[in-house]
Amino acid sequence: MKAIFIAFDQAYYERIVEVLPRLGCRGFTAWQEVQGRGTATGDPHYGTHAWPSLASAMMTMVDDSHVDNVLNTLHQMDVETPKLGLRAWVLPVERCI
């Protein structure tokens, strides 16, 4: 099992919530208003007067077999609208209760 952490511009929220179940990811935890900026590119998302946009973040736990499909779909979303910003990281899940 893997955890996929997704950080994205708020404009992606509804699209991601709609697409995850189609990719075999029913459950998730979301944080609606987070601040940050990309490592190499992308505008800051600070929620301030100078940088008014905010980001969101989400984590979903998926079977290993779903990881590539989820990442490919999210990557395609990012390629289609690169100015918004969307990144995803895969982390191992060692235990679950």
pTM beyond 0.85, yes or no:
yes
Residue 30 falls inside a structural domain: yes
Number of domains in the chain: 1
- Torsion over CA of 28, 32, 35 and 38, rounded to 10 degrees? 50
Asked if the model's pLDDT at residue 88 lies above 90, the reply is yes
In a domain, 76, yes or no: no
Residue 39 belongs to a domain: yes
Count of other CB atoms within 10 angstroms of residue 75: 13
Task: Please indicate, yes or no, if residue 62 is contained in any of the structural domains.
Answer: no
What confidence tens digit (pLDDT) does each residue in 54-70 have?
Answer: 889 999 999 999 999 99
| Residue 60 main-chain phi, psi, to 5 deg | -135, 145
Residue 23 belongs to domain spanning: 1-56+81-97
pLDDT in tens, 4-22: 999 999 999 999 999 999 9
Task: Examine residue 27 and state whether it is found in any structural domain, yes or no.
Answer: yes
Decide if 25 contacts 18 (C-beta within 8 A): no
